[in-house]
Amino acid sequence: GFLDHVSLGHEEWNPWEEDEKNEQIASQQKYEANLQMIKNARSHREQTSLRVQIWGKAAIGLYLWQHIFGGHLEPADVTAQWREGSQTAGKTYFSFITGPSVVPGYFSVEAENVVLVLNGREKAKITYATQWLHYAQTLIQTHKIQHVAVVLLGNEQCNNEWIQPYLKRHGGFVNLLFVTYDCALANEEDIFQWPLGVATYRNFPVVEPSWSMLHDPRSHLCNFLGTVYKNSSRETLMEILKQDGLDKLCWIAAREQWHPQETNESFKNYQDALLQSDLTLCPVGINTECYRIYEACSYGSLPVIEDVMTPGDCRNSSMYHSAPLQLLKAMGAPFIFIKKWEELPAVLEKEKKMNLQEKIQRRKKLIEWYRNFKAQMRQKFINALENSFLPSDKG
């Protein structure tokens, strides 16, 4: 029987064939399962290698989250004590928390990487901001978190010396700083210039451009609704508009005192003025960069910007040589920059000669630029965090 079996089919008989085959299948399956596991782990890691919690303790946090990241917050009610949202971007899972209830030690820290959004505009704000920094430092010392970045509403004269000792480069624990205004500290390595954005403290919305916003004729050549400070260039602007009767062609509503709290009516007026004007005049306030620039972009009204350096510590960093507004200029902002308001009548004369088609093209270009600007800021932010917080692959 045995010999018969051997000669069968002229092949050598292997009594262990079945077992080997099963073993091969099993090992193949095991190999594939392992491969799949590695693939899943890799793609999961690629999807979210990093978990970052953003603590939005200054209004610019809402610009970062809702305008730049296009993120949502629950509950939608802006007066809620606690609001949160999350999204995955790049290799990072971001969660965002804000509201009066978010105070040091009274909320759960849910990521090893933290972005603190702080206000450093004036002494009282700095005192509050340093409390947050000390809280973050304690979390680092007790190994609850690993990395910290700060998004800072800087001082309008760019005097942000107080934050320097907290930075890694000065022996502190803050890996990255994103700071508003033309701060000379910016080096685009660990200190980045960040846009001021819109006045989220006044609940300025995320504006979705409509067909009519792009295509309808607008009833005013330009607008300026705002405070006219004594002995400022804003007084010069008002005189020039009155002299040439240009105030009849523009939507002008000047007041002598700054009102931090908008009424619903005054805010609606302001939005209507942006929507109904081809140009938005942006005279210097305390700093050349103001919310008005970004708010005008949201409605496709081209900013006309007084291009003068803010007194104080604001100046060119070694990165750019185009301050003021070096960030916007470096990003190719298609604005009208003028050195003094005496140049305005010529700008408005040129404006009168433009036909609707030309204005439509310009609006589209402006809105498209602003959309790209926000997308690039988002990418810059994510790249900086991932490059700084993720372990490097270099041996």
Binned at pLDDT 50, 70 and 90, residue 45 comes out as very low
Query: Quick one: which of 187, 140, 189, 198 has its CA closest to 166?
Result: 140
Binned at pLDDT 50, 70 and 90, residue 230 comes out as confident
Binned at pLDDT 50, 70 and 90, residue 10 comes out as very low
Domain 203-372, classified CATH 3.40.50, yes or no: yes
Strand ordering across the sheet containing 336-338: 250-255, 220-227, 277-282, 302-306, 336-338
CA distance 113 to 389: 8
Average pLDDT over residues 125-153: 97
Query: Quick one: which of 268, 260, 152 has its CA closest to 205?
Result: 268
Query: Quick one: which of 265, 275, 308, 270 has its CA closest to 289?
Result: 308
Average pLDDT over residues 87-116: 94
Q: Residue 11 pLDDT > 50, yes or no?
A: no
Please report where in the chains the tokens 């470096």 appear, as a residue. Answer: 330
Looking at CATH, the fold of the domain delimited by 50-180 is given as: Rossmann fold (3.40.50)
Query: Quick one: which of 202, 113, 123, 107 has its CA closest to 149?
Result: 113
Same CATH topology for 50-180 and 203-372: the answer is yes
Whole-structure pTM value: 0.85
Per-residue pLDDT tens digits for 352-378: 999 999 999 999 999 999 999 999 999
**What pLDDT score does 49 carry?**
86
Contacts of 149 (CB under 8 A, 6+ apart): 113, 114, 115, 116, 174, 175, 176, 177, 178, 384, 385, 388
Query: 182 is written with which tokens?
Result: 């033309």
Top pLDDT among 92 and 319 is at: 92
CA distance 225 to 243: 18
Average pLDDT over residues 308-335: 83
Cα 323 to Cα 110, 257, 310, 380: the distances in Å are 39, 29, 10, 20
Q: Residue 3 pLDDT > 50, yes or no?
A: no
Per-residue pLDDT tens digits for 161-208: 999 999 999 999 999 999 999 988 899 999 999 999 999 999 999 999
Contact 277, 218 (CB under 8 A): yes
Backbone angles phi, psi at 321, to 5 degrees: -130, 35
Domain boundaries, given as residue ranges, for the chain: 50-180, 203-372
**What pLDDT score does 259 carry?**
62
Top pLDDT among 14 and 321 is at: 321
What share of the chain in percent tops pLDDT 90? 72
**What pLDDT score does 266 carry?**
85
